Structure 1
Amino acid sequence: MNDTPRAIVLLSGGLDSATCLAIARDMGFECYALSVAYGQRHVAELSASRRVAEALGAREHRLARVELGQFGGSALTDASIPVPEGEEVSSGIPVTYVPARNTVMLSIALAWAEVLGANDIFVGVNAVDYSGYPDCRPDYIEAFERMANLATKRGVEGARLRIHAPLIALSKAEIITRGSALGVDYGLTVTCYQADDSGRACGRCEACRLRRAGFASAGIADPTAYQTLP
């Protein structure tokens, strides 16, 4: 019988989630990667998630679908809302925040975890280079974990469900350094808010800016394919 503990890893196909999968694997978990098509502007990151799951040896990779795009309210799901570029700074929470996205994704991961008998869920949220999103904070992760243990059969029957956010206190450079040490091929990942169909990054949005600065700060060559030179 295989006694290796199982974990669900939310895998967007971006830099952070790829690192998170590598960390979960390094911790000795049998990893089940979960990607979510939620109505995002492009599907390049979902293609990237398949590549990353295979490269990092996920036991299984599932794609769940939920149409958050029908509600709009975010530059990532509503084509009528432009993605901020360059040094544009918005007051408060930026327009790239997708309402309830992490809550929806973690809930889907929780459902799959119950079916698999997994007590651990990994998510690559970050509270350092995180654009001010409210669902990337430590308080949110702690609250979701409490809810998970109250709202599930496994939780009320004594299994301790844990939400792991191993990147939450790391800078982008620290994330890249950690992932590189664990063998992550960042050339497989897509982080851009408005990548083209081939997965090439725009080089202008905040996600591209943070990613590029992270590689520079880490002293590691940036393998990102850009549409134009940033």
Structure 2
Amino acid sequence: MSDKAVVIFSGGMDSFTVLNRAIRDGLDVYALTFDYGQRHVKEVNFAQNACEKLGVQHKIVDISAIGGIIAGSSLTANIDVPEGHYEAESMKQTVVPNRNMILLSLAVGYAVSLEASKVYYGAHSGDHAIYPDCRPEFVKKMQDVCAISNYDPIDIVVPYLESSKIDILKDGLKMGLDYGLTWTCYNGREHACGKCGACQERLEAFEKNNVTDPLTYEV
């Protein structure tokens, strides 16, 4: 196996930091972005633009047809995105059933075809309360499965699994990253809403790092 790595890159600030971390780790990076029918599909355009600026090889995969069998999330259905803190009970409405297992499975298949040895994704500690497929126990099981599911093992790498978004941003700022290239808001409007859990967590991270968010907000 080589030093190639696949990075699941949504276009958000967490996966943007992961992508740049993998680059700085000296890996030959292949970014993979999924259109799964999310209302904030605007993030896909941000992902494409960021990869062009970074000179990273990038594929966008349309899997939006899964919306016909996976329902109930405010990210993919005509349900209002909840407002409030990221860890609030209401944020469970944003869970897309089995999303990360699906995305990781596809990314692992891509890694095998590239003869890559690693797949990176951006789960972090702020996700643990609401998203089961971002928790350490899920990551451990996926690592175990991906070590045996193909002739060559694929390592699932989650560099910020125990880090907060505040810590992720801190590391990205040390790398000199431009977060104006990222999109976080769960609403895909012209400007970020500033009210959904994703926006609030992002704004908190910038505030705690004493830095101004380069994105424009509605509020």
The TM-score, its normalising length taken from structure 2, stands at 0.92
Which residue number in structure 1 is paired with residue 166 of structure 2? 173
Instruction: Report the 3-state secondary structure (helix = DSSP H, G, I; strand = E; otherwise coil) of the residue aligned with 1:45.
Output: helix
Say yes or no: does 1:74 pair with 2:73. yes
CA-atom RMSD, angstroms? 1.9
Counterpart amino acid of residue 49 in structure 2: R
Distance 1:208 1:188 in 2: 15
What residue is the counterpart of 1:158 in the other structure?
none
> Which of 138, 143, 156 is 2:136 aligned to?
138
- State the match for 2:96 in structure 1: 98
- Tell me the CA shift for residue 8 of structure 1: 0.1
Give, in whole Å, the separation in 2 of the partners of 1:174 and 1:89.
Answer: 17
CA distance in structure 1 between the partners assigned to 2:157 and 2:35 by the alignment: 22
| 1:29-178 mapped onto 2 (5 Å cutoff) | 29-58=27-56, 60-66=57-63, 67-70=65-68, 71-79=70-78, 81-86=79-84, 91=89, 94-155=92-153, 161-178=154-171
CA apart distance, 1:43: 1.7
Q: Note the alpha carbon deviations across 1:16-69, whole angstroms, 9 max, x for none.
A: 0000001000111010000001111132100000112223331x1001121332
8 A contact 1:127–1:168 mirrored in 2: yes
Report whether the alignment pairs 1:209 with 2:209: no
Shift of 1:219: 1.2
Aligned residues of 1:56 and 1:184 also touching (Cα < 8 A): no
The 3 A distance-change label for structure 1 pair 201 and 130 is: farther
Deviation at 1:5, TM superposition (A): 1.0
Distance 1:127 1:173 in 2: 10
The answer to whether residue 205 in structure 2 is matched with residue 221 in structure 1 is no
Residues 1:201 and 1:216: Cα distance change in structure 2 (over 3 Å): same
Q: Does the CA-based 8 Å contact 1:68-1:77 persist in structure 2?
A: no
The letter of the residue matching 2:5 is: A
Query: Is contact 1:15–1:190 with CA below 8 Å preserved after alignment?
Result: yes
Q: Aligned-pair distance for 1:92?
A: 8.0
**CA distance, structure 2, for counterparts of residue 114 and residue 129 of structure 1:** 28
Unpaired runs of at least 5, structure 2: none
Decide whether the 8 Å contact of 1:92 with 1:132 is kept in 2: no
Q: Secondary structure at the match of 2:60?
A: strand
Secondary structure of residue in 1 paired with 2:92: coil
2:24 to 26, 31, 53: 26
What is the percentage of aligned positions where both structures have the same residue? 37
Off by >4 Å, runs of 4+ in structure 1: 87-90
* Whole-angstrom CA distance in 2 between matches of 1:124 and 1:16: 6
Task: Work out the number of aligned pairs and report it.
Answer: 217
Partners of 1:93 and 1:45 lie apart in 2 by: 19
| Deviation for aligned residue 1:172 | 1.3
